[in-house]
Structure formats: C-alpha cells, structure tokens
C-alpha cells in the first residue's frame, strides 16, 4: 500500500525558515486535511514536495514507499505516483489541455497512449466531469475560471491515477459547484482506496463535502494539533486563535 512519509521537514524560502519540522504520514485510501491560517506554510509544504526550485529543504525527509522523493527530479516524482495541484496553477499559453494531458499521461505511464484510445478516454472523463469537449483545445489554465481550474485538476487526477495526491485548494472564490467537483473527485478516489489524499485548505467549507479521516492544524511552519473530522468543526466554530496565540 502506497505511503507518503514526511519526517522533520525544514524548508527555507529566500533564506527564511518557513517549515520548522513537519511530520506527516499519508497512506493510500486515507484523506488528510491540513488546515491553518494564511501564511503558516501550507503551500510551502506542497511546493517542497513538488520540488519547486525556490524552496530549499534544509533537513528532514520525504519518502514515497521508502523511496527518497527529494532526490528525484520533478518529473520522476510524478512517475513515482505523486500528484501535486497548486493553489495558483501556472498558465501554459499555446499548449492545449489535450496535448498537456497526453504528455503527462505519457510521462507517468512510461509510454505514449495510442492517440485514438487517449482521445476517447479523455472525452469520457471530461463528460463525467460535465466539461464542454471544446475545453480540450483551450490553453492550459489560460483564462480558466475557478471552477474550470478545479475540473481540470480533477481531470488530471482521473487520467494520471496517482498513488498520493496533494491538493492545495484556494477555496476562496470558488463557488459551491467548483467545491463539489473537487469534493466528489476526492471522495471517488478515497473510496477506491488506491489513492491517498492530502487536502490543504484554510476554510472548513470544502470539508462539508469531503470527510477527511484526519485533520491536522498547521501553524507557524509545523503541525500543532491533529484529530479526526471533529477538529474541523471546532476550527470552524473557534478559528485558529487558540493555536497561534499559544506561540506553538
């Protein structure tokens, strides 16, 4: 069973320490929510796992099934079964959703899918997500609405079938429809039991639709509390003050 293990991870950005010892284990079939105030380092965690060059790991480890993720090139991480969806996905002008997806699928599966089969698969998945077929010809993320970005994100998940998915959710600015797209996607994956999901958010709104198995509170660069779904309800009622004031 796939396991992502993060051990005592320290990360600096522009010479400033942002992550101060993160410990977390995510297994296939589990959904973990990371919640925490703005600026606490949640996206930094996602970027560090993704291998973004601006984020320097100074100590600690990240492994997927015992393999050193931090030693892998960015594309190797995807091949190993990691999927990372960023809070602010990059626009790729001139590259269509269809071409982008075929390249990603080729990289992850290790061989180019037959064009006809690939087109059929993409069309079917898009129909499931109620996406207009014309969307396949749009440039990646260019001018996408919040909801379209989310559909595109879940489309990638479905096509790539990762072992572990890290989803950094904006949820601000997303309407209920977009939230439902993400939630249904996440729920489908966790129900199948083959993908572990790490869902990063700072609102509990999305957690009305996704029932995480574990909730972690993130403050000042590390996890300061952990619990079950009831912790999300507590955060909704009381906010993060308790965790940030204590100076932990």
**Residue ranges in contact with ligand ATP by CB under 6 A:** 13-14, 18, 36, 38-44, 54, 87, 202
What DSSP letter does each residue of 20-50 carry, written as one string? Answer: EEEEEEEETT-EEEEE--TTSSHHHHHHHHH
Between residues 29 and 89, which has the closer beta carbon with respect to ligand ATP? 89
- Pick the piece of the chain touching Mg ion (CB under 5 A) from 41-49, 68-76, 113-121, 137-145: 41-49
Out of ligand ATP, Mg ion, none, what residue 41 binds, judged by CB under 5 to 8 A for its kind, is: ligand ATP
Is 87 one of the binding residues for Mg ion (CB under 5 A)?
yes
Other CB atoms within a 10 A radius of the CB of residue 205 amount to 15
Between residues 45 and 101, which has the closer beta carbon with respect to Mg ion? 45
We find the least distance from the C-beta atom of residue 14 to ligand ATP, in angstroms, to be 4
Taking Cα atoms as reference points, which of 233, 157, 218, 243 lies closest to residue 6?
218
Q: What is the C-alpha to C-alpha distance for residues 42 and 35, in angstroms, rounded to an integer?
A: 8
Taking Cα atoms as reference points, which of 234, 178, 166, 244 lies closest to residue 206?
178
Helical packing angle, 146-160 and 97-109, nearest 10°: 30
Out of ligand ATP, Mg ion, none, what residue 39 binds, judged by CB under 5 to 8 A for its kind, is: ligand ATP
47 contact partners, CB below 8 Å, separation of at least 6: 54, 55, 86
We find the least distance from the C-beta atom of residue 87 to Mg ion, in angstroms, to be 5
Helix, strand or coil, per DSSP, at residue 197: strand
We find the least distance from the C-beta atom of residue 202 to ligand ATP, in angstroms, to be 4
List helix spans (H) across 89-175: 97-109, 115-128, 146-160
Out of ligand ATP, Mg ion, none, what residue 44 binds, judged by CB under 5 to 8 A for its kind, is: ligand ATP
225: its two tokens: 């509390």
Is 203 one of the binding residues for Mg ion (CB under 5 A)?
no
We find the least distance from the C-beta atom of residue 88 to Mg ion, in angstroms, to be 9
Between residues 16 and 245, which has the closer beta carbon with respect to ligand ATP? 16
Between residues 45 and 155, which has the closer beta carbon with respect to ligand ATP? 45
Between residues 2 and 218, which has the closer beta carbon with respect to ligand ATP? 218
Is 98 one of the binding residues for Mg ion (CB under 5 A)?
no
Between residues 40 and 156, which has the closer beta carbon with respect to ligand ATP? 40
Is 43 one of the binding residues for Mg ion (CB under 5 A)?
yes
Q: What is the C-alpha to C-alpha distance for residues 149 and 145, in angstroms, rounded to an integer?
A: 6
Give the residues lining the site for Mg ion (CB under 5 A). Answer: 42-43, 87
């Amino acid at each position: 069973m796939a396991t992502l293990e993060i051990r005592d991870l320290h990360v600096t950005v522009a010479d400033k320490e942002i992550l101060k010892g993160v410990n977390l284990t995510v297994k296939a079939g589990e959904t973990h929510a990371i919640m925490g105030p703005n600026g606490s380092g949640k996206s930094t965690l996602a970027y560090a796992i993704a291998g973004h060059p601006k984020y320097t790991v100074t100590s600690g480890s990240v492994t997927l099934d015992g393999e050193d993720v931090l030693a892998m090139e960015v594309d190797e991480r995807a091949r190993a079964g990691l999927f990372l969806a960023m809070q602010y996905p990059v626009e790729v002008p001139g590259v269509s959703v269809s071409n982008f997806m075929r390249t990603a699928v080729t990289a992850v599966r290790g061989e180019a899918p037959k064009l006809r089969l690939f087109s059929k698969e993409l069309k079917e998945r898009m129909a499931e997500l109620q996406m207009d077929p014309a969307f396949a010809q749009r440039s990646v993320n260019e001018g996408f609405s919040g909801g379209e970005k989310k559909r595109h994100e879940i489309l990638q998940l479905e096509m790539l079938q990762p072992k572990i998915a890290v989803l950094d959710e904006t949820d601000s600015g997303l309407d209920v429809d977009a939230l439902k797209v993400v939630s249904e996607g996440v729920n489908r994956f966790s129900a199948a039991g083959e993908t572990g999901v790490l869902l990063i958010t700072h609102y509990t709104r999305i957690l009305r639709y996704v029932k995480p198995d574990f909730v972690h509170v993130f403050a000042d660069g590390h996890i300061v509390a952990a619990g079950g779904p009831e912790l999300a309800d507590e955060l909704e009622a009381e906010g993060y003050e308790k965790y940030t004031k204590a100076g932990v």
